[in-house]
Amino acid sequence: MSVRKSLDKAVELLNEYKHKNRPFFLSVGFIRPHLPFVAPKKYFDLYPPESIPLADNQSVPDGAPDCAFPSHEEPRVYIDAQVGRLIGELDRLGMRENTVICLWADHGWHLGENSVWGKMTNFEEAAHAPG
């Protein structure tokens, strides 16, 4: 299911449960939130390449094993806006004050560190989850 379809279904379910006045659990997952690198143009326009500072450590560390490196890919996402839409719907329905929101992610992403763009490495930047 696409990111958009997942969110549309979540909004539909929130509206369905709003009037039932009983606790419920809704888990909304976004499969492949950053692959392929497609999103509406307005999200790309928010971050022009020249506005993004590069990492300080752009060189490959001495002795780094080949298995530490991924294929080179450019990260682009718009999941933040989708999460915002979901939270906005909770606000609109008056459900946010009684809702527990839990966000989790997999692991980090290189933004040029060690000459890497991506997350499939064994370097610290990609091996830990954001805190």
10-residue mean pLDDT profile of the chain (131 residues): values are 82 86 84 66 86 76 67 54 90 91 75 76 72 55
Does residue 55 sit within a domain? Answer: no
Q: Mark 81-92 as b/e (b = at least 16 C-beta within 10 Å).
A: bbeeebeebbee
Where on the phi/psi map is residue 95: left (φ > 0), alpha (ψ -120 to 50), or beta?
alpha
Quote the domain boundaries for residue 99.
3-48+61-127
Does residue 92 sit within a domain? Answer: yes
Does residue 103 sit within a domain? Answer: yes
Q: Would you state the pLDDT for residue 75? A: 38
Q: Would you state the pLDDT for residue 12? A: 93
Does residue 34 sit within a domain? Answer: yes
- The domain tally of the chain equals 1
42: amino acid identity, one letter: K
- Record the pTM: 0.52
